[in-house]
Amino acid sequence: MARGDSGPALMRAEPMEAETATELPKGGGWWFEPKWDGFRCLAFRDGDLVVLQAKSGKPLTRFFPEVAQAIAALPPQRFALDGELVILVDGRPSFADLQQRLHPAESRIRRLAAETPATYVVFDMLEAPGGRDLRSWPLERRHAKLEAFLQRYGSDRLTGTPGTGDRAAAEAWLKGGLIEGVVAKRLDGAYAEGERAMVKVKQARTADCVVGGFRYASGSPLVGSLLLGLYDAAGKLNHVGFTSGFAGVDRPALTKRLEALAGGTGFTGNAPGGPSRWSTERSAAWTPVRPEIVVEVGFDHVSDGRFRHGTRLIRFRPDKAARQCRLDQLAQGRAPERRGASPR
């Protein structure tokens, strides 16, 4: 049941989720926003108490003191927001810088908060200043409240996300390769906690990569994954990720071919990491090969010059020379301008 202005402050909620689709929904009544490369975060304020809550429900407050302090300094004493914590480096979101914040040492967190401050990019309001519960309101009305809030209290640490009701414009965001994806929301939709009431479409891109090494599958004499590389301007082959899907591939023949190339230079720039507390000796070991095999892979996102997730093997490219596979294939532009935009 929705509360009015006199109930207890909203200090915890389940974030509304999104289902994955291959294309943006058609027809009227949709609002489109960029999918940010950050940490999903609900922010709650009740007087001196500020809580930053991760998508998992775990607290994020101590890891982002600069954002918590910015929220605590606002005149409204009570409100609840939904958004994404991002750190922009040269205009691009850096997920690696976000991950560095998840550290037990407070001194390190404080130093990083000063050196690479995070921004809270807000896209929804669950509770308005004064305590009005907005979760049952349609998105269009919630956004009107949010934009008025951001116009008055927005800052470098607290800002709105761009948005559009134009599907063609949202498609252009996807094709531009500047963002992780696009999220579509119904303008007449309530904030459905824990439900997949939104639609997300991730950008689909491909790259031609050089195989610089491989790992055997666990407990098997056959190849388990190919380690992928791209050449930089200095001519060094840098490790950028892996692919492990071999549907339709003759793995014994591929393994034999890789073993024949084993012992080459492998990666001459950034190389795959070694053992860690999460890996076994077997899973961390990899075999370098002469950089002669080229593959085309599909990927959805790049973070700090590497594929964020595993890639999808599309085909082998015997027609392409390894030296033609360069890092500029992964080039990213600047993130969309962060600003409030109410659906109208």
pLDDT tens-digit series, residues 17-64 = 999 898 999 999 999 999 988 899 999 999 999 999 999 899 999 999
Q: What integer best gives the mean pLDDT of the chain? A: 89
More confident position, 250 or 94 = 250
Whether 35 is catalytic: yes
DSSP category for residue 38: S
Strands 119-127 and 158-160: parallel
| Range(s) of the chain covered by CATH 3.30.470.30 | 17-202
Residue 25 backbone phi and psi in degrees, to 5: -65, 150
Helix (H) or strand (E) holding 106: helix 106-115
> What confidence tier does 282 reach under pLDDT thresholds 50, 70, 90?
very low
Half-sphere exposure of 43 (CA within 13 A, CB side): 31
* Residue position matching structure tokens 């001459």: 268
The pLDDT-based confidence of 318 (bands split at 50, 70, 90) is confident
DSSP string, 124-151: EEEE-TTS-B-TTS-HHHHHHHHHHHHH
Q: Percentage of residues in the chain with pLDDT exceeding 70?
A: 91
User: Of the CATH numbers 2.60.40.10, 3.20.20.70, 3.40.50.300, 2.40.50.140, which one belongs to the domain with range 205-327?
Assistant: 2.40.50.140
- Predicted local confidence at residue 275, as pLDDT: 38
Residue type, 72: A
What is 17-202's CATH topology?
A: D-amino Acid Aminotransferase; Chain A, domain 1 (3.30.470)
Over residues 228-245, the mean pLDDT reads 94
Range with lowest mean pLDDT among 66-75, 82-91, 201-210: 201-210
For 40-108, give the DSSP string. EEEEEEETTEEEEEETTS-B-GGG-HHHHHHHHTSS-SEEEEEEEEE-EETTEE-HHHHHHT--S-HHH
- For CATH 2.40.50.140, the residue range(s) in the chain are 205-327
Statement: residue 283 has pLDDT above 50 = no
CA atoms of 187 and 28, how far apart (whole Å): 9
Cα angle 291, 264, 253 (rounded to 5 degrees) comes to 70
Which of the residues 35, 145, 185, 200 is marked catalytic?
Answer: 35
pLDDT for the residue numbered 248: 86
More confident residue, 188 or 334: 188
Each residue's pLDDT tens digit, 150-183: 999 999 999 999 999 999 999 998 887 667 789 9
Of 1-15, 78-92, 128-142, 187-201, least confident by mean pLDDT is 1-15
336: pLDDT confidence band, cut at 50, 70 and 90?
A: low
Query: Under a CB-based contact definition with an 8 Å cutoff, are residues 12 and 192 in contact?
Result: no
Up-side HSE of residue 295: CA atoms within 13 Å toward CB? Answer: 25
Question: What does the pLDDT read at residue 96?
Answer: 82
Beta partners for residue 43, in sequence order = 52, 81
More confident residue, 286 or 264: 286
Q: What pLDDT is stored for residue 335 in this prediction? A: 56
Amino acid at 114: A
**Across the chain, which distance is largest between two alpha carbons, in Å?**
74
- Per-residue confidence (pLDDT) for residue 1, from 0 to 100: 36
Predicted confidence (pLDDT) per residue in 101-145, tens digit: 998 899 999 999 999 999 999 999 999 998 999 999 999 999 999
Task: Tell me the C-alpha distance between 171 and 26, whole Å.
Answer: 11
Phi and psi at 329, nearest 5°, equal -65, -25
Backbone angles phi, psi at 221, to 5 degrees: -85, 5
d(CA 311, CA 329): 14
* pTM for the model: 0.73
Whole-number pLDDT of residue 5: 53
Which 8-state DSSP code applies to residue 228?
Answer: E
Q: For residues 248 and 224, give the distance between their C-alpha atoms in angstroms, rounded to a whole number.
A: 14
Nearest to 286, CA basis, from 318, 262, 257, 319: 262
Mean pLDDT value of segment 269-296: 72
